[in-house]
Amino acid sequence: MPVCKKTLGMCKNSNRKENRKRVRALLWRRMQTLNLMNDAKRLLKIAAKSNIPVLICGESGTGKEVAARILHAESGRATGPFIAVNCGALNSGLMESLFEGSRRGAFTGSTSDQLGFVRAADKGTLFLDEIGELPLESQTRFLRILQERAVTPLGSQSTIPVDFRLVCATHRNLEQAVRAGLFREDLYFRLNVFPVRLPPLRHRQSEFASLVQELWHELGNSSLEENDVNELASFPWPGNVRQLKNVLCRYRLLEPYGTKLSMILAEETWNFKMGKVTSVCEQNGGYKIRSNAPCLDKIVTALEAHQYNKTHAAQSLGISRGCLCYQLRKRDS
């Protein structure tokens, strides 16, 4: 039975629409990857115009405190204090006095009044880094401070109102922590008013070269060679910008003595997430030296066993795909 031209045209139009949808979806995903950092910067500028709590999320080393300081500097509280607190480094037994302050004589050794973190941030910004490390009992106390916008110093019975902007940061998934009973749900919703997610360095390929050159210029006046930039771009950087800075500082010091960048990267520990470390690993309180990477024979054998699928070969060797590719390029050069 012949198909009429009208029906055929409708089918073609339908296929074109589906193709356009798929292309738009693909382009949108790519744009999301490329513009993650631009989105974060834009959101920080928007948040700076208000006083609402901001929750900065991202892996370790992505620059969460830097983002918090930028937010403070761009806000109307820029002339006020910026008080940074690492919640993972606090003594749980001193949380109340550290946050709310204390009166003279409130406890043994208390010879003067102490403001506490919250009052110290009055008219400014209180930045709580690694908020996910805050103990549950301290979370309850801090929730009351947020609700009342006031503190009760240890040894005092009167509350003192405080005007502060709250910015928190975490590398943990707080939603999972809430489900696991490790983080209060009501506190989570108090903090997650305006979330800003900082992308890891491996997702910032579009600006990686300019970022590397900027960091390199901070260490001296010269520019980094293109080959070195490309070699840095092939590294997975689980420690993100912090790790990149460390490598560049080391390279700047050792380059005059003939040390190549490839030598520094080969010795860099980075495969923590897979339970292994490429150079050294902590064991029984010390550090045990281990081989930097599988030998070439093992890599070739793994590639042959997995039909040259690099992802599967890397998994069988207990390394990442980036490490496998780096070792192949290193041996080819």
pLDDT of residue 279: 38
Residue 320 has pLDDT above 80, yes or no: no
Together in a domain, 69 and 190: yes
Together in a domain, 217 and 91: no
Residue 229: which CATH number? 1.10.8
Q: Which pLDDT band holds residue 34 (cuts at 50, 70, 90)?
A: very low
Q: Which pLDDT band holds residue 74 (cuts at 50, 70, 90)?
A: very high
Q: Is 9 exposed, middle or buried (0-12, 13-18, 19+ CB in 10 A)?
A: exposed
Mean pLDDT of the region 87-111: 77
Residues 6+ apart with CB under 8 A from 216: 222, 223, 224, 248, 252
pLDDT of residue 16: 62
Together in a domain, 47 and 173: yes
pLDDT of residue 281: 31
Of 78-82, 89-93, 174-178, 319-323, which range is least confident? 319-323
Mean pLDDT of the region 128-155: 91
CA dihedral of residues 192, 196, 200, 201 (deg, nearest 10): -160
Whether the full predicted model's pTM is greater than 0.85, yes or no, is no
pLDDT of residue 109: 63
pLDDT of residue 35: 52
Residue-averaged pLDDT of the chain: 80
Residue 330 has pLDDT above 90, yes or no: no
Together in a domain, 43 and 154: yes
Q: Is 69 among the domain residues? A: yes
What is the identity of the amino acid at 229? V
What is the identity of the amino acid at 152? T
Residues 6+ apart with CB under 8 A from 215: 241, 244, 245, 248
What is the identity of the amino acid at 51? N
Q: How confident is the model over 163-198, as pLDDT tens digits?
A: 999 999 999 999 999 999 999 999 999 999 999 999
Name the residue with higher pLDDT: 282 or 200. Answer: 200
Together in a domain, 109 and 175: yes
Percent of the chain's residues with pLDDT above 70: 78
Q: Which pLDDT band holds residue 236 (cuts at 50, 70, 90)?
A: confident
Together in a domain, 161 and 211: no
Together in a domain, 140 and 238: no
Residue 181: which CATH number? 3.40.50.300
Q: Is 4 among the domain residues? A: no
CA 139 to CA 147: how far, in whole Å? 12
Together in a domain, 76 and 178: yes
Give one DSSP letter per residue of 237-278, joined into a string.
-TTHHHHHHHHHHHHHHHGGGT--HHHHHHH----GGGT--S
CA 175 to CA 129: how far, in whole Å? 17
- The parent domain of residue 241 ranges over 204-268
3 state DSSP class of 62 = coil
Q: Is 67 among the domain residues? A: yes
